[in-house]
Chain A
Amino acid sequence: MPETTQFGNIEEFGGSDGTLKANTILMARYKVLGQLGGGGQGAVYQARDLNFPDAKRLVAIKEMHYASGDPAMRAQSLAAFQREANILATLSHPAIPKIFDFFDQNNRAYLVMEFINGSDLELLLNKTKELPIDKILEWAVDLCDVLDYLHKTEPEPIIFRDVKPANIMIDNHGKVRLIDFGIAKIFVSGVKNTMIGTEGYSAPEQYKGDVNPLSDIYSLGATLHHIITRKDPRLEPPFSFNERPLVNYNTKVPPSLQAVLDKALAMNPADRYQSCAEMKEAFLAVRYRASATPSSGNPSATRAMSSPGTSFFEGAEFDTIKGKMEPRWSFKSEDEIRASPTAMNNLAYVGSYDTNMWAVSLEDGSFRWKYATSGGIASSPFADKNTGLIFFGSEDMNFYALNATTGKIVWSHTTAGRIRSAPTVAHESVFFGSDDGRIYALAASNGRQLWEYDMGAPIRLKPYITDDLVIVGSESGELIGLELSGNRKWNYRLRRAITSSPSVDVVEGVGYVGSSDGYLYAIDISNGYSMWRFRTGGPIISSVAIDGSLLLFGSADCNFYAINSENAKEKWRFTCEKPIVGSPVVHNGYVYFGGTNGVFYCLESKTGKEVWKFETQNAITAQPHIVDKIILVASMDHTLYALPLV
């Protein structure tokens, strides 16, 4: 109903918009000083009680219009109002404003209440950058208290129905006060009311006209979620709180608080706290735990998976603490290992900055052969079953093909720059880049050069080869798609270096590549145009692992990301204390990667939940390699570890 019909013949009494003018005196007692706000059903005024001439006693007066002009309806509304006012007047709780008086005059009803000097939470949210969590918890406890009091009112519980930041005042003493009982309808079980509440904060059952004390629990959860995350639920899809974990918006939130809000915000009322008293206990527990010292709050059991430091290097025998990730074997080279290991025919291969390509037994890590180059090896080897060769480059500018079984050189190819790019073998050819700015295509069997393509800037990634394209990026930020003949099909220019190796979803025809500009790019590999990009806070050196519609990769901003390839939205992230530059591998629903903090992680791919971790003694920059129930992990602590795949 249009609001103008609510104001009948009242022009002589108030302003043209129907509100009371300042200095209007009601009931010969209350002198209106000004308007405080316009509530859902009428205005709220600040007034002075003239019964106390010597003291400036301030009151708030809520004005309610009768919705109907029909006298019978009016009488009914007045009766309802009086009944409600009588109940409110009997309430006695520190968080509920006192009701002093009520009356009706000039076809309107008035409720005279305690004036609260303070600010409502919505205003407070707008005026502040961050509210302290302990203060929010204190309010939460007090709000549970007052709602519990209302819900236990006899003979019928009072349901507030519209808990939201705008209806919660924080007074000058920092205490919460519930305001605007205008819609706090007396609960009559079994009767369905039309939806009253505020979209975004209201519980799902309220949309069906169903309301009960558990709806207030939901709305309190929604309100607290809003003030902690500062994401206004009125601007988000309804009932989408679980898509906005608290910690994503406020790192100071204790994890147990998330659990409390999750329960309060359950879709099904039966899954929520069954009383505000119960919810209050939960908030008190969060408060108690949060006030305990952080170190004592961390049970040592959660660290059981991590390795106990230097004991790994004391000998071949490792401690066997129950539950600890235990390497099957480890092999120590003479310098840092930065490049990824690989394996073939029961041998594991890894290149080291000690200039050697090492081959060790996959069974027990025992030494089989090494091949010394004249430079550090930062190029991950490629083991090719068809030729039985191991391919890799060295910083001595040479590209090598070794017999995988014996380690004897079969052929080599010299470029004009250091080779840090890892090779890919496909179509009986081997493709790699060099710091001389060229991408090379050689015949895999004999090293005969098929073609080279000059990109003009060092190439340090591993080319991706599809059925008809070679996809490569350079340190100057150019990404190209070459036909297998070496002719350019397309190119795409980024502002910063591409060190991340391209990954391709061959079914969708989409390539994914990270850049030093902090973005992950999705490229349509049929024409080289960029589809979308996803921003992280640091350079992306890690390449992308594809698990169905999930893209998994690390960033130098210390986060490991899982994003949905269909809409480029973040699904989860896992935060480490150091940058993540090593590429991940996905296997059977788990994702494996190492961080420059030296820790190797196994997470649940769908959720990001940590399953186990393994600590090495230096940064991990390599991609793990999974073969025969073994995960090969190379660390800059010089060591290649073989972890059991569990």
Chain B
Amino acid sequence: MDLFRKMFGKTSEEASDKEATKPQKSVTPEASETVSPTDGHISDDEGIDPTTQPVSIPPSVSKAPLPKPINDYVTQQLASDMLSTTNSSFITFGQSSDVGLVRSNNQDATMSFFFTSTTADERPDFGVFIVADGMGGHHDGEKASALTAKTITQHMIQNVYLPILTGIDDVPPIAEMMVAAVQKANSEIIKHVPEGGTTVTAVSVLGDLAYIAHVGDSRAYLITKDNLEQITRDHSLVQRLIELDQITQDEVHDHPQKNVLYRALGQNDSVEVDISTRRLPHNSRLLICSDGLWGLVSEKDLFEIAMNNQDPQQACEKLVALASSNGGTDNITVVLLKIS
């Protein structure tokens, strides 16, 4: 079932317009007529008595390490390649969630919020995209996942989006806010849905930088032209055993503890949240999904459907349909960001 669907995108004219306003790469010579040594004024009452200087913390700071000590220009050429591209990217996205063929209710929740603008203020694009997979009887699972999606979105809008829109110059560190948002969701579940729990994979986008906060076994993948990379780590016992070479991937399916998560929201008063950041390259996809999708659709199919459909909404619907036709044993949820 599609909860809602939004698509945003800048036109290519806007993108190229922005390109044109990029800073010149050479220093402007016009501002150079002001060489005015303050004549003879060398030292004053601030006088130079080295013995009175503080000992522990010097006034001077040593030089910053340069990536290549031999020639500054070499590394900066590289920078121009990487950075000049970042201003012109734009994002469209799709979102789809379905109960599947076996379960009677959909305990997954998904929520997307995206802001883009073209103004003189030059505010960066901002978005929050969430997939949460609830657990617990008596509708506690879907209550926990819904509460999580709402709490995180609200926290990020209040603490990051609105300050950026307002233009304040001390917006708190985004990763820290994402972690705080997930921890807040955890406390809300403990308080309001004590019998429920949920996984959460939440992505906040600012400009072309994605912040991925993650607890449980929903997943985020970054898909580029020739690569699909899982950027979250499942907090499941079997995944841990695989990482430690105790069991093989083939042994997972009939492992007695295959559904055991060692970390989820709603389990403890405090929760450790995985957080990472990724630049979103041009022509890439960011896919967020619950295990109802990744458990039933191969990575090869994820890659092909995500990359080969121009419309991310269509890709989401195809992915959900494929998971259903592969069994649909669990709720299926997917969010797909297309970075152009």
Chain A residues packing against B (C-beta within 8 Å) = 194-195, 199, 204-205, 207-209, 235, 237-239, 267, 335-336, 338-340, 342, 353-355, 374-376, 378-380, 382, 385, 395-398, 412-416, 418, 420-422, 424-429, 441, 443, 447-452, 460-462, 464-469, 478, 483-487, 489, 491-494, 499-503, 506-509, 521-522, 524-527, 529-533, 539, 541-546, 556, 566-568, 578-579, 581-586, 596, 619, 621-623, 626, 636
Contact = CB atoms under 8 A, between A and B. Distances in A.
B170 interface: yes
Given A238-B262, A506-B67, A546-B67, A583 B61 contact: yes
A416 B60 contact: no
Given A267-B245, A450-B32, A566-B277, 8 more contacts: A397-B42, A526-B86, A531-B209, A532-B176, A532-B275, A543-B62, A579-B56, A585-B65
Contacts of A335: 50
B63 A623 contact: yes
A468 B23 contact: yes
Interface in B100-130: 124
Contact of A527 (B25, B38, B207): B207
B139 to A, nearest CB: 20
A450 B28 contact: yes
27 contacts: A194-B256, A205-B246, A207-B237, A208-B247, A338-B59, A353-B50, A374-B48, A412-B37, A415-B38, A421-B61, A422-B60, A448-B35, A450-B32, A451-B28, A461-B61, A462-B61, A467-B76, A467-B80, A468-B84, A469-B23, A484-B25, A501-B63, A506-B79, A530-B174, A531-B175, A532-B176, A532-B277
B279 interface: yes
Given A194-B256, A533-B176, A339 B62 contact: yes
A424 to B, nearest CB: 8
Contacts of A543: 61-65
Interface string B80-94: 101110110000000
B63 A526 contact: no
B67 A636 contact: no
Contacts of A448: 32, 35
A450 to B, nearest CB: 5
A583 B63 contact: yes
B82 A509 contact: yes
Contact of A416 (B38, B260, B263): B38
Contacts of A527: 124, 206-207
Contacts of B171: 492, 529-530
Interface residues of B, number: 85
A623 B61 CA distance: 8
B256 to A, nearest CB: 7
B57 A579 contact: yes
Nearest to B231: A566
Contacts of B207: 524, 526-527, 529
A354 B275 contact: no
Interface string B255-294: 0110010110000101000111101000000000000000
- 6 nearest A-B pairs in the assembled complex, by CB-CB distance: A623-B62, A378-B60, A353-B50, A532-B175, A483-B23, A506-B79
A427 B76 CA distance: 10
Given A448-B32, A485-B27, A376 B237 contact: no
Nearest to A627: B69
B48 A484 contact: no
A619 B55 contact: yes
A148 B211 CA distance: 50
Nearest to B32: A450
Given A429-B27, A467-B25, A567-B275, A380 B56 contact: no
Contacts of A489: 23
B72 interface: yes
Contacts of B79: 466-467, 506-507
Interface string B37-75: 111011100101010010111111111110101011101
A582 B62 contact: yes
B209 A485 contact: no
Contacts of A525: 83
Interface core residue of B59, B78, B237, B270 (most chain A CB under 10 Å):
B59
- The prevalent SS among residues of A at the interface is loop
B80 A380 contact: no
Contacts of B176: 532-533
B297 interface: no
B22 interface: yes
Contacts of A494: 170
A493 B83 contact: no
B219 interface: no
Interface in B13-42: 22-29, 31-32, 34-39, 41-42
Given A338-B58, A532-B176, A237 B240 contact: yes
Given A374-B48, A382-B63, A568-B275, A353 B31 contact: no
Contacts of B31: 449-451, 485-486
Interface core residue of A413, A422, A467 (most chain B CB under 10 Å):
A467
A621 B58 contact: yes
A567 B276 contact: yes
A486 B173 CA distance: 26
Nearest to A506: B79
B246 A485 contact: no
B308 interface: no
Contacts of B77: 467
Contacts of B24: 483-485
A376 B169 contact: no
Interface core residue of B48, B237, B260, B274 (most chain A CB under 10 Å):
B48
A413 B186 CA distance: 58
Contact of A509 (B26, B43, B58, B83): B83
B276 A541 contact: no
Interface core residue of B43, B174, B206 (most chain A CB under 10 Å):
B43
Contacts of B245: 267
B174 A531 contact: yes
Contacts of B61: 380, 420-422, 460-462, 499-501, 541, 543, 583
B35 A460 contact: no
A556 B84 CA distance: 37
B174 A449 contact: no
A525 to B, nearest CB: 8
A529 B65 contact: no
A545 B43 contact: no
A531 B240 CA distance: 28
A380 B82 contact: no
B172 interface: yes
A378 B58 contact: yes
Interface string B217-250: 0000000000000000001010011001111000
Nearest to B81: A467
B330 interface: no
B80 A529 contact: no
Contacts of A422: 60-63
B60 A484 contact: no
